A and B are shown apart, each in its own frame.
Chain A
Amino acid sequence: MNASFVKRTLAAVAAVGALASGMGAAHAEDAKVGFVYVGPIGDHGWSYRHDIGRQAIEKEFGDAVSTSYVESVPEGADAERVIRQMAQTGHNLIFTTSFGFMNPTEKVAKQFPNVKFEHATGYKRADNISTYAARFYEGRYVAGVIAGKMTKSNIIGYVGSFPIPEVVRGINSFMRGAWSVNPDVKVKIVWANTWYDPGKEGDAAKALIDQGADIMVQHTDSPAPLQVAENRGVLGIGQASDMIKFAPKAQLTAIVDHWDEYYVARTKAVMDGTWESTDTWGGIASGMVDMAPYTNMPDDVKALAEETEAKIASGEIHPFGGPIYDQAGELRVKEGEDAPDEMLLGMDWYVKGIDAELPK
């Protein structure tokens, strides 16, 4: 939307101004950590969870560290201005938390070799740029196991945002989890073509439930699909943060982003002088992917979910352990092997058994 773009631009410009005026008040700390968010911290999803991580840093180090953030930064020229402003105002560690901040981060990092940068979900690294992301698909596998046990109609309703590898990987992982306990499960997928439009996400959920789905899964950001599940008396899985408040009778669990430990560890590394450029892709084991409490299910399903979660953490289960065939029947991963990360990162095909066509 035009209006929202203008608003975000204004917000970003205002934030840069605020940051600049705050610069004079800066005093010596062990670390000054900056965060750049793509959305408002009030989105109750992606940016909100990053900000929880920022607060964890403050809690951990108290006065030794100061943090600041700029929210609703558009992925474009403004991002570069905001990041540069942060680097200029004495921040020595800057987290840029959206894929679209990749090139601006790289550009600014070249000009400030002494500032450490951490870019979420990207792939461009340098001596002073680390990348990090979370293996949310592990959480989706656990959710799939629960759904496979809980569905009565054997139809899963899945609201997708865009057919990008992150989302496709999630669908594949979810269904592999579901099939591991119930081979008859089918999935119906509706692409909302938006990350965020509560009304449309809700309508998509209604359409899926009308067509027989009794478990709602979503890879969009608002709690609307789960809320529809609650109102229609079916079950669902939350996204990004614990959404139990919106669906006390419907939410089975939620796949929660959990950056706290990573952010604290990286800040500590800067303070100790041990920071190095790394590439982190953490899953359940690292704590980056967290499952909200298992609710609205019988004890045996809960026990199975906990067991699956533990086995993924220990490496006993790999959500993409071979053999894996794609829809055309071609063997993609051999028996006894696990899908390599490069395959997962570029996943643009459905696994065999998904009865839907991937939009091109």
Chain B
Amino acid sequence: MDWIVPFILTVITASTPLLLAASGELVTEKSGVLNLGVEGMMLVGAIAGFAVTATTGSAVLGIVGAMCAGVLMSLIFAFLTLTLMANQVATGLALTIFGVGFSALVGSGFVGFAIQPLPSLSIPGLSSIPVLGPILFGQDFLVYLSFAIVVGIGYFLTKTRAGLILKAVGDSHHSANAIGYSVIKIRYLATMFGGAMSGLAGAYLSLSYTPMWAENMTAGRGWIALALVVFATWRPGRLLAGAYMFGLISVMQLHAQGAGIHVPSQFMSMLPYLATVIVLVIISSDRAKIRLNAPACIGQAFRATQ
């Protein structure tokens, strides 16, 4: 059973970037904005985080830089879709394509650089408890942050006035506008939060998961994060479960291969996606439930009527 602890550690690192990016997108979508540019924002965050860390030697500055870069990317999106009212789907796709190319351009000077990975927490005594020690007290701080953020978002959306306003804007922007809330301002803020979280997810990839910069290193994780939000029917708790289930299956298939379990590896690679589709079908069969959670105005442009 020696493999159990490292196995769980690998699952945690595989799940964290998905969880970070998806939790940001969840808030963005709850405000009624569908930003398909997650992959592009993650990549720009990844190179920004890596470049700043490699130049300054400070991972903290790198993480801040990655979040700022993500916010800037999301501001491009927000300006086009919220101010100029461009189509959100098309703009989001364009943002991803832009992010892929832009990060490669900026990153061309950083290929082959090596940096120190993010340090893991180490609490004397606690971190050396068998099994639970390394899992609970031996992660880098972004892992703890990702959990805190999910809990925070859950609290924010259900228990705070600001969260309820955000949901109101996402569910009926005309009503929210009529009673005096600034729909555009709130959506800007929600989109920026999504950008910051995507940037953070990118930084996790380039600073902790695989501490290096390589072109297109997100390899589709931004799209998985987008799918996870729907998979979780816009609920933070389910998002956490979904991200970890996804991480678990993808790592499990690699372990099964190494252990010589004779299942076709192509089938194993497909499993996480298959699981997503199956769960989507199960969840969607309860139409009332999905309608309760899905933001009614998602993807719709808003123009104040007066």
What residues of chain B lie closer than 8 Å to A200, measured between beta carbons? 219, 250, 254
Give Cα distance in the complex from A227 to B40, angstroms. 25
Main secondary structure of the interface of B (DSSP, over half): helix
Per-position 1/0 for A180-215, Cβ under 8 A of B: 000000001111111011111011101111110100
Cβ of B174 under 8 Å from chain A? no
Q: Within A211-231, which residues are at the interface with B (CB < 8 Å)?
A: 211, 213, 222-224, 227, 231
Contact of A211 among B210, B212, B219, B258 (CB under 8 A): B258
Inter-chain contact B14/A199, CB cutoff 8 Å:
yes
Cβ of A261 under 8 Å from chain B? no
Cβ of B6 under 8 Å from chain A? yes
Give Cα distance in the complex from A10 to B7, angstroms. 40
Cβ of B260 under 8 Å from chain A? yes
Cβ of B10 under 8 Å from chain A? yes
Per-position 1/0 for B3-29, Cβ under 8 A of A: 100110010011001000000000000
Q: Within A29-44, which residues are at the interface with B (CB < 8 Å)?
A: 40, 42-44
Known A42-B104, A206-B10, A211-B258: A199·B217 in contact at CB below 8 Å = yes
Contact of A210 among B39, B217, B255 (CB under 8 A): B255
Known A191-B265, A193-B265: A6·B97 in contact at CB below 8 Å = yes
Per-position 1/0 for B89-118, Cβ under 8 A of A: 000010011001100100110011110010
Size bracket of the A interface: 35 or more
What residues of chain B lie closer than 8 Å to A196, measured between beta carbons? 214, 216, 219
Q: What's the A-B contact tally at a CB cutoff of 8 Å?
A: 131
Inter-chain contact A44/B111, CB cutoff 8 Å:
yes
Inter-chain contact B258/A7, CB cutoff 8 Å:
no
Inter-chain contact B111/A42, CB cutoff 8 Å:
yes
Inter-chain contact A211/B3, CB cutoff 8 Å:
yes
Known A11-B101, A43-B215, A211-B3: A203·B258 in contact at CB below 8 Å = no
Query: Could you tell me the distance in whole angstroms from the C-beta of A210 to the nearest C-beta in chain B?
Result: 4
Query: Could you tell me the distance in whole angstroms from the C-beta of B103 to the nearest C-beta in chain A?
Result: 11
* 8 nearest A-B pairs in the assembled complex, by CB-CB distance: A197-B219, A191-B265, A207-B254, A198-B210, A210-B6, A42-B111, A190-B257, A193-B269
Q: Can you sample 27 A-B contacts with CB below 8 Å?
A: A1-B216, A1-B219, A1-B220, A3-B97, A7-B100, A11-B101, A40-B215, A43-B111, A43-B214, A44-B112, A190-B254, A196-B216, A198-B210, A198-B212, A199-B205, A200-B250, A200-B254, A204-B254, A204-B258, A207-B7, A209-B6, A210-B3, A210-B10, A210-B258, A224-B210, A227-B210, A356-B260
